[in-house]
Amino acid sequence: MNCPNCGHGEAAAIGPYIGSHEIFRRMSLACCSRCELVFAQPQPSPAELADYYDHYWDGEVAVSTPSTRRYYLAQSLSRVDYLRRFGILDARPAVLDVGAGLGLFHDGLARRGFAHDYVAVETDREQLEGLRRRFGDTGAFRRLEDVPAERKFDLLALTHVLEHMDRPHDFVDGLMQRLRPGGLLFVEVPHRDYRYKALFESHLLFFNANSLGDLLGRHGKVLEVCTVGKEAAKLYVAHVHPKPDALRPLKELVKTGIALVTPDFDEKQIARYGMSSYGGDRQWLRAVVARKD
Q: Which of 84-93, 189-198, 254-263 has the lowest mean pLDDT?
A: 254-263
245 class by beta-carbon count within 10 Å (0-12 exposed, 13-18 middle, 19+ buried): middle
111 and 196 in a common domain: yes
146 and 218 in a common domain: yes
185 and 123 in a common domain: yes
Residues of the chain with pLDDT > 90, as a percent, come to 59
Q: Give the model confidence (pLDDT) of 98-124 as tens digits.
A: 999 999 999 999 999 999 999 999 998
**Does residue 37 sit within a domain?**
no
**Does residue 130 sit within a domain?**
yes
Enclosing domain of residue 66: 56-231+283-290
213 and 105 in a common domain: yes
Mean pLDDT, rounded, of the chain: 84
Per-residue model confidence (pLDDT) at position 236: 61
145 and 77 in a common domain: yes
Average pLDDT estimate for 161-183:
96
Per-residue model confidence (pLDDT) at position 3: 97
Query: How many domains in the chain?
Result: 2
Q: Which of 168-172, 227-231, 274-278, 279-283 has the lowest mean pLDDT?
A: 274-278
Q: If pLDDT is split at 50, 70 and 90, which confidence band does 232 have? A: low
150 and 125 in a common domain: yes
212 and 84 in a common domain: yes
Here the CATH number for the domain that contains residue 150 is: 3.40.50.150
157 and 72 in a common domain: yes
222 and 253 in a common domain: no
**Does residue 142 sit within a domain?**
yes
More confident residue, 236 or 212: 212
Per-residue model confidence (pLDDT) at position 14: 96
**Does residue 173 sit within a domain?**
yes
Q: If pLDDT is split at 50, 70 and 90, which confidence band does 230 have? A: low
220 and 78 in a common domain: yes
Per-residue model confidence (pLDDT) at position 258: 42
69 and 157 in a common domain: yes
244 and 126 in a common domain: no
Does the pLDDT at position 248 exceed 90?
no
Q: If pLDDT is split at 50, 70 and 90, which confidence band does 201 have? A: confident
**Does residue 185 sit within a domain?**
yes
**Does residue 3 sit within a domain?**
no
**Does residue 34 sit within a domain?**
no
Q: Give the model confidence (pLDDT) of 45-102 as tens digits.
A: 888 888 887 766 654 544 556 777 777 888 899 999 999 999 999 999 999 999 999 9
Per-residue model confidence (pLDDT) at position 202: 87
**Does residue 24 sit within a domain?**
no
